[in-house]
Amino acid sequence: QVQLAESGGGLVQAGGSLRLSCAASGGTFSWCAMGWFRQASGKDRDFVAGISWSGGRTDYSASVKGRFTVSRDNAQNTVYLEMSNLKPEDTGVYYCAADQGAYPLRVARVQSEYDYWGQGTQVTVSS
């Protein structure tokens, strides 16, 4: 069982930056590919970014590529999502998720591939 806890969300003006963190406990974090998803009000939860458990691959949705950076620190059991040049359409609840047992370079974009989820953290970007 892997437990995930997101933090770092908040209210920011368009063009600003935020750094989200996801701290993991239990299980073997180093063997989990990690993904970030977001859910806007009334919308489906969509893939944002992910990183393989080896750290060798990252993946981003087209809407955030070039603005967001996902990274991980296995020694601290933490994955990060650095967000810059935020836009109002980035508003939503951001969730981190763990894909346990993934191949070393695997990054899944589909929710059903992930085994554990955090509680989410709200990010609101004002115009």
pLDDT per residue as tens, the chain (127 positions) = 889 999 999 999 999 999 999 999 987 777 889 999 999 999 999 999 999 988 889 999 999 999 999 999 988 899 999 999 999 999 999 999 999 877 888 899 999 999 999 999 999 999 9
Predicted pLDDT at 85: 98
Q: What is the DSSP string of the chain?
A: --EEEEE--EEEETT--EEEEEEEESS-GGGEEEEEEEE-TTS-EEEEEEE-TTSS-EEE-TTTTTTEEEEEEGGGTEEEEEE-S--GGG-EEEEEEEEET--TT----SGGG--EE---EEEEEE-
Predicted pLDDT at 30: 72
Predicted pLDDT at 15: 98
Q: Per-residue b/e over 68-104, b at no fewer than 16 CB within 10 Å?
A: bbbebebeebbbbbbbeebeeebbbbbbbbbbbebee
Predicted pLDDT at 53: 87
Predicted pLDDT at 5: 96
